[in-house]
Structure 1
Amino acid sequence: MQLDGDDEVKRVCFRCIGNAYLSARVQREGEIAACSYCGGSDDQSFTIDEMADCVALAFEQHYARTPSEPNSMQYAMQNDWESDYSWDREGEPVDDAIADAASVDRAIAMDIREVLADRFGDWDASMAGEETEFDGESMYERKSVGSGRWTREWNEFERSLKTEARFFSRSAMSHLAELFEGMDDLKTRNKTTVLVEAGPGFPIASLYRARSFPRYSDIHGALARPDLHLGPPPASVARAGRMNAHGISVFYGATDPLIALAEVRPPVGCSVAIARFEIAKSVTLLDLTSLSDAMMNGSIFDPTFLDRLQRAEFLRRIGDRITVPVMPDDENLGYLATQAIADFLATIDQPDIDGILFPSVQAKGDARNVVLFHKSSRVRPMDIPAGTKIDVNDGFSTEDGWETDYSVYERTPRVPPAPPNPASSAPWFQQAFDIFDPDPREFTLNVDAQSLEVHVVEAVSYQTEKNRVRRQRFQDSDPPF
């Protein structure tokens, strides 16, 4: 566009642009020339055509032109004499939309719109009275960004794990690395981070863990040594779960004991032992609930902003994908994606994540589940003197019958064993083996033996959504072939 009366091209300096990203781009890439709007002569500036390029791409990605006429349903509602519906076109005038998006004066916005109207104008459409993009009477509104390529790539990620490569998939690794990149900088609408701290001094300072025992006598070992029998199982017997593959030992816990009870899905008649585990050191958890409120800040004039918005939109829904209920017969394949995510998050260095905080699929409410990855799930052994005998009683007989009363008695030796002699005469390699700890992990959890409870499942209730089934019979009127 040229100035009226001469051949000089109109220019806009960076000072006349309120949008920080667009102003910085003009300051970085523009030429020093006189501004046609503020009169400045020594600032970097863009031509109106260059400004139109920026606006065109931003509107293509983030705005949609609203319909200029009501649709058929709106027409019907408007013509219904019993209805008080009145159709009004949605959106804001195109000049206002451009001015608000770029934070420029209306005069600048109108000049930009005129350039774009010439570019996108169509003579045939104009003669037919049809509105085209950036027409002077057109109106625009922000459009939903959706999740774009992220949903397609997630579906491909799941398909690849199930049908192609399960353990060494470069495409799966690449997808997860891109999806969870910069997780330590991701914020929610409330300006909180999606990574939360748990442990001493934090709201989540302890977790509850439950284990069911179909045979009544099997529970005695758990009551005697809850650190061994209620903590994470040894790798040799660790079954696959939502966040771990078979043989990978992790710690599943809950912030509420009844949630821990519900998660083990105990059958009627079995006994369930529940204990509280104190988190001994600070751990970092990815909070899927906060992830559902993730926000991405940026400018619509940044060409990469749309993809980042779509990533945030996908991350807001990924918690539902991760926690979707999986039927027992489908667990082998249904858990593959969540297991891969847990493995990936457990092995990255930046950010260093110790586990995942996620809502329970077995119980409703505010209480949540936590999985601590293998590296952060070691339980400190109980301080029991060597030679101690542990007796477990579950009740006693009375005149009225059996009285349930769980109790644990620790009988320590009368003479404590002598401490090991530092100047042992054993060979050096034997001494080295004695002090060698085959598990290099730090202790993360301490079991509270006084918190032990035994729940005997007497009945189970279900929360359901009831749907009636309608059944009808009618005579088939179609002639037989």
Structure 2
Amino acid sequence: MDQGAVDELKAKKLCHACVGEAYLSGEIAREGKRVKCSYCGKTRRCYSIGDVAERVQVAFEQHYVRTSDQPTSWQYRLMSDSESSYDWSRDGEPVTDAIANAAEIPQEAAEDIQQLLEAEHDDFDSAAMGEESEFSGDTYYEEKGTSDRVWQEEWRNFENSLKTEARFFSRTAARHLASIFDGIDDLRTSSGQPSVLDAGPGTDFHAVYRARVFQSRDKLEEALCRPDTHLGSPPASVAAAGRMNARGISVFYGSNDPKVAIAEVRPPVGSQVAVARFEIIKPLRLLDLTALTAVTVTGSIFDPDHAGRMERAMFLRTLTERITKPVMPDDEHFEYLATQAIADFLATESSIPIDGIIFPSVQAAGDVLNVVLFHKAARVEAVTLPKGTEIRARTGHMEEEGWEDDYEVVEEVPPAPEEPAAETKPKSGWPNFAALAALPWEPHDPDWRDVSLRVVIDTVTVHQVRRVEFETDEFIVTRRRWKKHEPDF
């Protein structure tokens, strides 16, 4: 096709009404010029066919692949088999049909776009050798699958940088996490389930169970007296490193099932586990990793950002498995670095407010969930006790037959004070400094966090671990013996 014919085709106009694909049609309606359409004859907002061809080319580069014009070796064997009825046909659809169906435009417009793109990709040497070029009239195209290969590679680089390069203040890691999680609250599953859910009062997720293992009877009794301080998140000075927190960062781990809460603390046989239910008393927003496994993205192939969103969604569907995979105790120091970095990022750097993460349990099967509330959302409300209350607990008592397990907490409160006589106001306007000095001094609470959790006192239970059961996959080890043979020289 000579240049004059190419220029003539480029100048033809296509109106938004002749385009059935919603995204492209809307773009033309917003940004096109009001002229006469070359295909329907109506005066509407239009793009030139040259502009539409450019959009088609970009969309096909991102979402379509040209199929092979030759059978595979396996298909050749089937075709040459006299007993086979196999008849080879090329995959995909003819290029003009593919263009017309993708943009939902008239066949004439699709043919004009195909001719423009064929002229642009025309290769004299390839044509001389009988090879197809992109968009030539006899090519076939089909939509290609989404690949998250680039995202997977970037994740491996992210993990490696944390382990070997910069564990703290890594801007590379921060940028990678931002690319993954920015705007994640807009994602939904095919059933409409959000990836970030609301928790707390008036929601379906308003309570969690937390367990703590004890091997000392004295420490257990201390915890039963004040479950708010001993069964809640630990003080920073004793906070051990976990899947979602570095050492010294106090967070709240819990579960929606008390049995799973026990399994998660991995209690040894002979120990005792205290479990309590905690109400979430403050509205929180939690990233639900279980929803990420089914996130879907809808959009148009003519949206230049759509391919990237599809690749990101594909990666997110595998991210939950990466974050929650079982880690051997000897490997926790390094293998938890990535998940700890994610939690730190979401707690402090994320563009959307996130207070914690919901994730599936690796210790128990079924529809059970674990939750980690970040430090900012892990404060437990102190149990209200009358001033001067003395608390004692017991875990059992001796009977004639021997020790009898019996868990009890007793609160001994002081008698109610008598009503004080009405004081006469001093005639002077000065404060009563003697009375102020007599007031008991109480230290200022340095904890800046709002209270997010309240322990339900009457839900506290103690579980004595008698045995631990395992579910395993058994494999037989085969053993063979071979006789060595001396090499021949």
Q: Say whether 1:363 aligns with 2:350.
A: no
1:443 corresponds to: 451
Call closer, same or farther: CA 1:405–1:143 in 2, change over 3 Å: same
Matches within 5 A, 1:162-201: 162-201=163-202
CA distance in 2, matches of 1:21, 1:432: 70
Query: For residues 7 and 334 of structure 1, what CA distance do their matches in structure 2 show?
Result: 62
1:42-441 counterparts in 2 under 5 A? 43-47=45-49, 49-76=50-77, 88-122=89-123, 125-126=126-127, 130-348=131-349, 350-415=351-416, 425=433, 434=442, 436-441=444-449
In structure 2, distance between residues paired with 1:427 and 1:159: 64
SS of residue in 2 equivalent to 1:469: coil
Q: CA deviation at 1:92?
A: 3.1
**What is the SS of the residue equivalent to 1:393?**
strand
The answer (yes or no) to whether the contact 2:16–2:44 under 8 Å persists in 1 is no
Structure 1 residue 316: Cα displacement = 1.8
Distance 1:465 1:72 in 2: 40
TM-score of the superposed pair, with normalisation by structure 2: 0.88
Q: Residues 349 and 51 (structure 1 numbering): CA distance in 2 closer, same or farther, change over 3 Å?
A: closer
Pairwise CA distance, 1:477: 4.6
| 1:23 match | 25
Asked whether the 8 Å contact 1:196–1:287 carries over to 2, the reply is yes
RMSD of Structure 2 on Structure 1 (CA): 3.1
Aligned AA (2:12): K
Aligned partners of 1:86, 1:146: CA distance in 2, in Å? 31
Checking the alignment, whether the CA contact within 8 Å between 2:28 and 2:45 is kept in structure 1 is no
Per the alignment, do residues 25 and 427 of structure 1 end up closer, same or farther by CA in structure 2, a change over 3 Å counting? farther
Q: Give the SS at the match of 1:141.
A: strand
Q: Hey, what's the Cα distance between the residues in 1 that align with 2:388 and 2:123?
A: 93
1:459 partnered with 2:461: no
1:182 CA displacement: 1.2
**Cα distance change on mapping 1:376 and 1:15 into 2, 3 Å:** same
- Distance in 2 (CA, whole Å) between partners of 1:101 and 1:141 is 11
Kindly indicate whether the alpha-carbon contact (under 8 Å) linking 1:187 and 1:194 is maintained by their aligned counterparts in 2. Answer: yes
**Structure 2 CA distance for aligned equivalents of residues 358 and 271 of structure 1:** 26
Residue-by-residue CA offset, 1:224-247 (whole Å, 9 max, x unaligned): 111111100001111111111111
Give 1:431 shift: 8.0
User: Number of matched residues?
Assistant: 478
Q: Which amino acid aligns with 2:42?
A: G
Cα distance between partner residues in 2 of 1:412 and 1:209 = 28
* Structure 1, gaps ≥5 residues long: none
- Contact kept, 8 Å, 2:198 with 2:285, in 1: the verdict is yes
More moved, 396-405 vs 313-322: 396-405
One-letter code of the match for 2:328?
A: M
Whole-Å separation in 2 of the counterparts to 1:72 and 1:366? 47
Query: Would you say the 8 A contact 1:216–1:270 is kept in 2?
Result: no
> Is the contact made by 2:14 and 2:37 (CA closer than 8 Å) also made in structure 1?
yes
Contact 2:217 2:395 in 1 (8 A): no
SS at match of 1:168: coil
Shift of the 220–60 alpha-carbon distance from structure 1 to 2, 3 Å rule, reads same
Higher mean alpha-carbon deviation, 54-63 vs 406-415, is at 406-415
* Residue type of the alignment partner of 2:284: V
The answer to whether the Cα contact below 8 Å between 2:228 and 2:380 also exists between their aligned partners in 1 is yes
Structure 2 distance, partners of 1:232, 1:472, is 54
Q: Which moved more, 1:74-83 or 1:160-169?
A: 74-83
Of 22-31 and 178-187, deviating more is 22-31
Code of the residue aligned with 2:445 in structure 1: it is: D
Contact 2:182 2:350 in 1 (8 A): no
Tell me the CA shift for residue 78 of structure 1: 5.8
Q: Measure how far apart 1:85 and its partner are.
A: 6.3
- How far residue 130 of structure 1 moved from its aligned partner, in angstroms, is 4.5
For each residue in 1:379-414, what CA deviation from the matched residue of structure 2 results, as whole angstroms up to 9, or x when unmatched?
A: 011122222222222233445543322222222223
Q: Secondary structure at the match of 2:462?
A: strand
SS in 2 for 1:314: helix
Question: AA paired with 1:461?
Answer: E
Per-residue deviation, 1:32: 4.4
Cα deviation 1:249-294 (Å, max 9, x = unaligned): 0100001011111111111111111111111121110001111222
Quote the sequence identity (%): 50
The offset of 1:117, in angstroms, is 2.9
2: distance between equivalents of 1:313 and 1:440? 39
Task: Give the Cα–Cα distance (whole angstroms) in 2 for the partners of residues 251 and 363 of structure 1.
Answer: 19
CA gap 1:109/1:7 in 2 versus in 1, 3 angstroms: closer
The match for 1:471 among 467, 474, 479 is: 479
Report the AA paired with residue 408 of structure 1: V
**Deviations 1:201-230 (Å, cap 9, x if unpaired)?**
211111000111123443111111111111
Taking a change above 3 Å as real, the CA distance of residues 123 and 7 of structure 1, as seen in their structure-2 partners, is closer
- C-alpha displacement at 1:73, in angstroms? 3.0
The alignment partner of 1:37 has SS state of coil
Report the CA distance between 1:88 and its aligned residue: 4.8
What is the deviation of 1:87?
Answer: 5.0
Flag the 1:108–1:367 CA change in 2: closer, same or farther, 3 A.
same
- Amino acid corresponding to residue 460 of structure 2 in structure 1: L
What CA distance in whole angstroms lies between the structure 2 residues aligned with 1:429 and 1:174?
Answer: 55
Q: Secondary structure at the match of 2:433?
A: coil
Determine if contact 1:227/1:379 at 8 Å carries over to the other structure. yes
Aligned AA (1:171)? T
